Amino acid sequence: MRKAPVYFFSEEVKYTLKNKIRIRNWINETIVAEGYQLEELNFILCSDEYLLAMNQQYLKHDTYTDVITFDNSEGLKTILGDIFISIERIQENAGQFKSTTEQELCRVMIHGTLHLLGYKDKGKAAKTMMTQKEDQYLALLNLKPASSPL
């Protein structure tokens, strides 16, 4: 099996992502299950301030966020993109939602990926569909309970 072109980088944070191969394959399988082909997908784990600056510059939003997705695809049914994720937001959200940092990080990774697959999260119906898809694909990753490491 060819290595899925999913890459992980960090900017302004030190964070070691566990189970990279498993996560890489899971992301690719999600994309294929939705009828798309993966060209390349980059996950950039960064600081709150780094993502805030991107949010201000590219989206003209002056707020902190956990994820920003950039779709660079040129062809139909292909995925080429960059997903920037604030590790600080993920850690805070994990505490708020009583999950692990790894579980929350995977939720946000699949959330960003689903945006590239055409799913939206504005409006009640779209948000409900997005959450259902997140849950569907997270179940395939088989994350450990909050009390266990990933």
Convert the pLDDT of each residue in 98-145 to its tens digit.
999 999 999 999 999 999 999 999 999 999 999 999 999 999 997 554
pLDDT of res. 142 = 74
Amino acid identity, position 139: A
By the 8 A CB rule, do 108 and 88 touch?
no
Task: Answer whether residue 1 shows pLDDT above 60.
Answer: no
Helix (H) or strand (E) holding 70: strand 67-71
Task: Answer whether residue 63 shows pLDDT above 80.
Answer: yes
Convert the pLDDT of each residue in 73-93 to its tens digit.
998 999 999 999 999 999 999
pLDDT of res. 113 = 98
Confidence band for 146, pLDDT divided at 50, 70 and 90 = very low
Q: What is the widest separation between alpha-carbon atoms in the chain?
A: 43
Residues above pLDDT 90, as percent of the chain: 89
Confidence band for 2, pLDDT divided at 50, 70 and 90 = low
Task: Answer whether residue 150 shows pLDDT above 70.
Answer: no
Q: Is 115 annotated as a binding residue?
A: yes
How far apart are alpha carbons 86 and 11 in whole angstroms? 10
- Say how far residue 96 (Cα) sits from the centre of its chain: 18
Domain boundaries, the chain: 6-141
pLDDT of res. 143 = 57
Q: What is the CATH number of domain 6-141?
A: 3.40.390.30
Mean pLDDT of 45-52: 97
Between 5 and 146, the higher pLDDT residue: 5
Mean pLDDT (the chain, rounded)? 92
Instruction: For residue 150, give the nearest of 110, 100, 90, 116 by alpha carbon.
Output: 100
Give the number of other Cβ atoms within 10 Å of residue 106's Cβ.
25
**CA angle at 82 for the pair 77 and 87, rounded to the nearest 5°:** 135
Q: Is 121 annotated as a binding residue?
A: yes
